[in-house]
Structure 1
């Protein structure tokens, strides 16, 4: 399938929540016979969440942007898809689907990331203005779920709105518009469809982008093809951690969209796209170190990160007065780093045999730690700065803010010494859009 022609000039930044909604509103006003707008529900802070329906086919596709609010590549993809469907009657006829496009399912969280949207190539700016909700406050991981000792029913209003849409239209396809940070392109699907897997693997090369062949996001993932994995469920992650002799409840919380959509037999596809890449992400040559040592080093670094974040929090906890989203996230992610370290330690211990790691594996494991430092350290620093900016910071908080800022700036400097290339946003959107259409064709013919 040929790649799509995307708007020119090249994309250089990300739209704010308001700009994205204005663009969709204009599209619906200019083509009211094709684009139907309604409100799904409201966010926790009272913001309406619209959905735009395009097409009138008997099968339905749900496309949602902002499922993680620090992953805005999909905002461009959602708008480009809508524009393409409106402009191309032949495509609408070919697919024969009704598309329900939710431009941004988490407007509250997205607004807290808008500080870096204008300069997405600057990794330091990204980290300093980064926000990701605590796991049980993420739309993607707060669907209701009961499994063994896990029972989650604290469903967010945003998640409830999306689940209600799923139950209403029983979609043949769901695409949550995610993206990664550093590396190559990779995909998740929840169905063993060899033709779709091959198609997804081939899409990035058409846009000049690399596949990710380093360490996958989780060692328990099932590989279906080149950089394509089976979409994981929370139950599978629970069983994996339990099999390592660890407590799954230290890591898992609510269900994911793939868990919830099992009831509807929906094809779920995710295209993970990086902002930056590096020469080593596709290098399968020798990394000069054993794979077991790579995993152990990652575990040690994650444990040290958890201790640094947790130590800073413990020293100020008695004096904090503002329960900001950044603080709730920092409180959740600090112990999660330790839980991830425990899992990696145990995995390294249980490796049946050792081998030399590839350069891609060495890089991806090392950079995962750099990413977590910038992400969660940035959130903790923002939480402390909120106290100071509000004029309610105890002297202990101000001193800890200053000391932790020095640590954080060292982490930023270390990350910025790694020679990364910022990938063209237009090409990233092209990959995601091609993947959505490939999945739509697979869902129609299933």
Structure 2
């Protein structure tokens, strides 16, 4: 986080007058929320990096975008556009991932230092609506959206294991082809059936439409992003939101659209494994919990553990052909879908194990004697990703370049459309403290 802030400050200092570094809020721990602003046009673009603490690539992407936008006046003055690049929406959470950010980039190191807060502490979500937003990071983003009224908002996310995909609040013709082209040029697999968008309308290969929010109980909200969010909030201003996902470890099979030989058998296996893994992790949590009094940060680690274990039974039942709700049918499944579901089940398990590992090591001792078991589980699940799924590390530069290319493509396509509509131009927005 400090390196990201320092590089942004240096960039703004080198280009004083053309680039402004603004403070648009503070995190719960008092870290400034900083935004790079490039251009002085009436039409606003908002790019949000770091909405999830464990997905850091967006910070690199916004620095890359700032350089590219500044170098090409067609993206600013020529388009009457201003680019607003938020360095990181959850800087406190990002700091808790710094144990793996310096490398070496191995799955085991990643998951042993993984952190993502519980659902209610993730600043993009609005479980109580915009008026009930409790987190200062969320309130800062909502304020920025309402001031800017952007014609385009891009939220930059990262997939730990899998492939690249994009989610849109409405269709953007032409983007599917550009997403596919960027992924192919960079050697990144397209994820054709992502778990996140399993029930969502498909606009094209690896591009899905985010459905409107609807009230759901908490477990469904965690797994389906079914509550209101900062993706939807600026729609009142005519904003198109694009969620851009780039993988850290790519898996070729998530791009395999062929029909599987026996999808029901594969689904039963995925569901059975998830139930088994969740029970094993719940037993470990029960052994660890009595020893957590006084452990620093235990509550923040316990919240996502409990969220994960809460949703596992429902997920397993929804995927299992023998227990699935007949009124909520899975779409026709390809090999890509089944691979994504297998990875999703393993991801929940290994993330939970990694958080439990940090709980125990944070206590400075292992009174319950669970560390050997946790280490064995983490190693086994990581080996499954690496050896069985073929997960391979994708260099950070390629992750960021994919996101940058998709954002620029969305800007060009959405800019043309918005220029023809009633929200094409905007008055000047209030300036934050520089």
Shorter-chain TM-score tier: 0.7 to 0.9
Partner of residue 359, structure 2: 383
Contact 1:175 1:268 in 2 (8 A): yes
> 1 CA distance for matches of 2:89 and 2:221?
26
User: What's the offset of the Cα at 1:88?
Assistant: 2.5
User: What's the offset of the Cα at 1:351?
Assistant: 8.4
Contact 2:256 2:336 in 1 (8 A): yes
User: What's the offset of the Cα at 1:402?
Assistant: 4.3
Confirm whether residue 428 of structure 1 aligns to residue 388 of structure 2: no
Partner of residue 4, structure 1: none
Partner of residue 442, structure 1: 413
Residue from 8, 17, 36 that aligns with 1:52: 36
Partner of residue 74, structure 2: 90
User: What's the offset of the Cα at 1:354?
Assistant: 10
Summarize the alignment of residues 97-246 of structure 1 with structure 2, pairs less than 5 Å apart. Answer: 97-119=81-103, 121-142=105-126, 144-145=128-129, 153-235=132-214, 238=216
Partner of residue 5, structure 1: none
Contact 2:250 2:391 in 1 (8 A): yes
Deviations 1:50-87 (A, max 9, x none): 11211111111111111011111211110001111222
Partner of residue 417, structure 1: 387
> 2 CA distance for matches of 1:306 and 1:295?
16
3-state SS of the aligned residue for 1:79? helix
User: What's the offset of the Cα at 1:103?
Assistant: 0.7
Contact 2:198 2:331 in 1 (8 A): no
> 1 CA distance for matches of 2:329 and 2:151?
42
User: Cα–Cα, structure 1 residues 34 and 159, in superposed 2: closer, same or farther, change >3 Å?
Assistant: same
Summarize the alignment of residues 55-94 of structure 1 with structure 2, pairs less than 5 Å apart. Answer: 55-94=39-78
- Relative to the length of structure 2, the TM-score reads 0.86
User: What's the offset of the Cα at 1:353?
Assistant: 9.4
Contact 2:199 2:330 in 1 (8 A): no
User: What's the offset of the Cα at 1:215?
Assistant: 4.7
Partner of residue 319, structure 2: 344
> 1 CA distance for matches of 2:329 and 2:406?
36
Summarize the alignment of residues 333-372 of structure 1 with structure 2, pairs less than 5 Å apart. Answer: 333-345=308-320, 348=324, 350=326, 358-372=334-348
* Residue correspondences, number: 411
Contact 2:120 2:127 in 1 (8 A): no
User: Cα–Cα, structure 1 residues 57 and 352, in superposed 2: closer, same or farther, change >3 Å?
Assistant: closer
> 1 CA distance for matches of 2:219 and 2:51?
27
Deviates more, 1:216-225 or 1:349-358: 349-358
Partner of residue 9, structure 1: none
Partner of residue 277, structure 1: 250
> 2 CA distance for matches of 1:332 and 1:216?
17
Contact 2:172 2:414 in 1 (8 A): no
Partner of residue 14, structure 1: none
> 2 CA distance for matches of 1:307 and 1:234?
31
> 2 CA distance for matches of 1:153 and 1:328?
20
> 2 CA distance for matches of 1:230 and 1:91?
26
> 2 CA distance for matches of 1:230 and 1:407?
36
Deviations 1:182-230 (A, max 9, x none): 2322111111222334433433223333322245424211101111100
Residue from 219, 230, 235 that aligns with 1:262: 235
> 2 CA distance for matches of 1:100 and 1:45?
23
Unpaired runs of at least 5, structure 2: 419-434
User: Cα–Cα, structure 1 residues 352 and 103, in superposed 2: closer, same or farther, change >3 Å?
Assistant: closer
Confirm whether residue 295 of structure 1 aligns to residue 255 of structure 2: no
Deviations 1:130-157 (A, max 9, x none): 11111111112246429xxxxx935211
Residue from 330, 349, 356 that aligns with 2:305: 330
Contact 1:172 1:265 in 2 (8 A): yes
User: Cα–Cα, structure 1 residues 302 and 153, in superposed 2: closer, same or farther, change >3 Å?
Assistant: farther
Deviations 1:278-326 (A, max 9, x none): 332323345432x233233222222223222222222332332133422
Deviations 1:258-297 (A, max 9, x none): 23223222110112111122332323345432x2332332
Unpaired runs of at least 5, structure 1: 1-16, 147-151
Contact 1:183 1:277 in 2 (8 A): yes
> 2 CA distance for matches of 1:208 and 1:313?
40
